[in-house]
Structure 1
């Protein structure tokens, strides 16, 4: 998995930071998933190496404008390009009414399949939101001024690496049999021998896990969702000295994000959704927020627009 930050500011854009959006590229399946879509997100696509035509799923955390105002324009542009095979949207209950109203009033036509999923029930009842042979997506409700949700993308464990040399030593003919053995299946050869795929594969390789958590106050549910994740992307709207504002507006401070990462035992934390009040040149800068978080959780990075991160799974011994 590869993460690209397309917007890392809260509320309003700044010269250096657009409003919220994070792209997840699933390279092996040539798909792109998007988390939030603030105003100007499609312009951020144009400034990146990402291909909008690969967009398959969009996950919205909540309906505040800095997280959704870019969605209608992006979907309309995707339709005009004529190269989408379909997009699935996941978000709060009002998402469908919002999109229907904007697209209808602007006479915009979506020329590809568009499906909208409400996430509230899955979040509240801890049900699976999405699952296929490779990936599982779950979500939980957060603590914000409007209904908001965090998402976890969990890649399923993969079979261990196939030992081709050992297969050749056993005179196993290449082709479909190799594919079955790589999947860990048991096959019967023409000479009657029974070969177990697990015997020719190394240790199971753990899948990669990513959690996207914004906007919220410190949340025990977020800790549960992020448990053991390889990467936690968490909002840090405020510095610790502005905790009173964070409680009032139901956002997190840098220290709240770090505490979540520490208690969840994640591998890495990246701070995003920074208030414009901490722009460079002001009394408190984003680097101060980073230092506050690192004092609690050392393996913390500060997001910036167009930062790319390859998410790596933990080794089996960890």
Structure 2
């Protein structure tokens, strides 16, 4: 499981940062890629990666500000041009209005897609569990921005215990159907009369990963709830230390507020994005250093950076 950042800038693109978009790569888990936000130029950023657009099966939009959604029409259109690959449907989750935005854009431009878009819109009254599969759940909760905006909590369900194959072989169990029975939790009896207790050869279930991806927000308790115990917390850092007043005015957070959220949520790692274009390279290093003074496992990400979820 990896996160790759396609755009880490705030509001408008700069020479070093495109606007908001990232992907959660679940290739080993379910052979899919999930996208979160799709600002202008996202499809161009994808060309600099190994991401295959057809692998993107789900898109989650945090809010309808242009720097988070204006790349959607272009991306959806380009996804249709890969004629050599199978056409697959896509699920699009987001606030009420995302369907109208996409369909109007496609209609006005005369774009016809060879696949279906399944829209899943929500408002303040229909949040909570918005997706559940056999391996993942996704919860959404409202944040505190200048427009309706949400954060997402992606939870991997606990993984099955692994079979101790070497232990079974050492116990004299022949490789074959008996291995399968033990893996399924069935005790077995060997020809010599010895009983093999299945639970002794299967490890405990492994805890699934939790990834929290927040949209634009002021400092709010909702961020802490969404990030509780997360392996990775992605939080905006539009402003820096001492900018609390202007951050609140414009519906955003500082690096220190993000660090405070991560600390209170007992998150394992904090990744800061949505960085204002006014911050130069040396300023970004200071953003990271200041936040690390409160939450040491903090990193300010850059465009195209890939982070493994450990």
TM (norm. structure 2) is: 0.92
User: Equivalences for 1:1-318 in 2 at 5 Å?
Assistant: 1-28=1-28, 29-82=30-83, 83=85, 84-120=87-123, 124=127, 126=128, 128-175=129-176, 178-179=179-180, 181-182=182-183, 185-186=185-186, 197-280=198-281, 285-312=283-310
> Deviation of residue 130 (structure 1)?
1.1
Contact kept? 1:19, 1:39, Cα under 8 Å: yes
Task: Tell which deviates more after alignment, 27-36 or 37-46.
Answer: 27-36
Distance 1:94 1:175 in 2: 55
Distance 1:189 1:209, change over 3 A: same
Contact kept? 1:122, 1:138, Cα under 8 Å: no
- 1:151-203, Cα deviation, whole Å (9 max, x unpaired): 01111111222100222245545456545644x53366797998664331123
Contact kept? 2:6, 2:303, Cα under 8 Å: yes
Distance 1:225 1:6 in 2: 22
- 1:48-95, Cα deviation, whole Å (9 max, x unpaired): 122212111111000000000001110111112233311111110110
Distance 1:43 1:177, change over 3 A: farther
Distance 1:33 1:178, change over 3 A: farther
Distance 1:180 1:92 in 2: 47
Distance 1:266 1:100, change over 3 A: same
Distance 1:225 1:186 in 2: 38
Contact kept? 1:38, 1:67, Cα under 8 Å: yes
Distance 1:177 1:95 in 2: 52
Distance 1:103 1:141 in 2: 28
Contact kept? 1:123, 1:141, Cα under 8 Å: no
Distance 1:177 1:60, change over 3 A: farther
List runs of 5+ in structure 1 lacking aligned partners: 313-318
Distance 1:107 1:187 in 2: 62
Distance 1:301 1:19, change over 3 A: same
> Deviation of residue 288 (structure 1)?
1.8
Contact kept? 1:123, 1:149, Cα under 8 Å: no
Contact kept? 1:141, 1:150, Cα under 8 Å: yes
Say how many residue pairs are matched.
Answer: 306
Secondary structure at 1:241 match in 2: coil
Contact kept? 2:178, 2:188, Cα under 8 Å: no
List runs of 5+ in structure 2 lacking aligned partners: none
Distance 1:85 1:177, change over 3 A: farther
Distance 2:275 2:82 in 1: 33
- 1:245-299, Cα deviation, whole Å (9 max, x unpaired): 1111110111110000000000000100001111337xxx111211221111011
Contact kept? 2:231, 2:267, Cα under 8 Å: yes
Secondary structure at 1:306 match in 2: coil
Distance 1:100 1:118 in 2: 13
> Deviation of residue 20 (structure 1)?
0.5
Distance 2:17 2:227 in 1: 26
Secondary structure at 2:281 match in 1: coil
